[in-house]
Amino acid sequence: MLVSSRETGRWVLPKGWPMKGIKPHNTAAREALEEAGILGKVAKSPLGGYSYAKRLENGSVQICQVQVFAFEVEQERNLWLEKHERTRKWFAVADAAEAVEEPELREAILKFEMFAMAGPKNTKSQKSQFSDNCD
């Protein structure tokens, strides 16, 4: 599952800023709920990561380091916090990798396919989420 970016409408994974006292995988789960309306189980270790340049409201640019976590979707809500700001869409893994712009994110999505196939469950309910760690 990917969600549309609020600013550009391009396909991305839900992400958010680090939260003091909250582990990165729990931040990823929280962002998945807020941005995509999904609940489930998130892996504690990241699948990989990537970096991107984020333009802030004041016009400055900050380089963000993103950690990507596997996430097993157990529930999709019909209403969620950012429903009117984003579109969510399920993709086949290869199509999701093709839909995103960042090459390192593409690699993490493809790595997720190997993770899902090796895991105890091989279902379409597993998806990839991530948490942003901007320095």
Domains and CATH numbers, the chain: 2-134 (3.90.79.10)
C-alpha–C-alpha distance, residues 117 and 122, integer Å:
6
Q: Residue 24's pLDDT is what?
A: 94
C-alpha–C-alpha distance, residues 75 and 60, integer Å:
37
Judge whether residue 123 has pLDDT over 60: no
pLDDT 10s digits, 7-65: 889 999 998 888 999 999 999 999 999 999 999 999 999 988 888 888 888 999 999 99
Judge whether residue 126 has pLDDT over 60: no
Judge whether 37 and 43 are in contact, CB under 8 Å.
Answer: no
pLDDT 10s digits, 79-106: 999 999 999 999 999 999 999 999 999 9
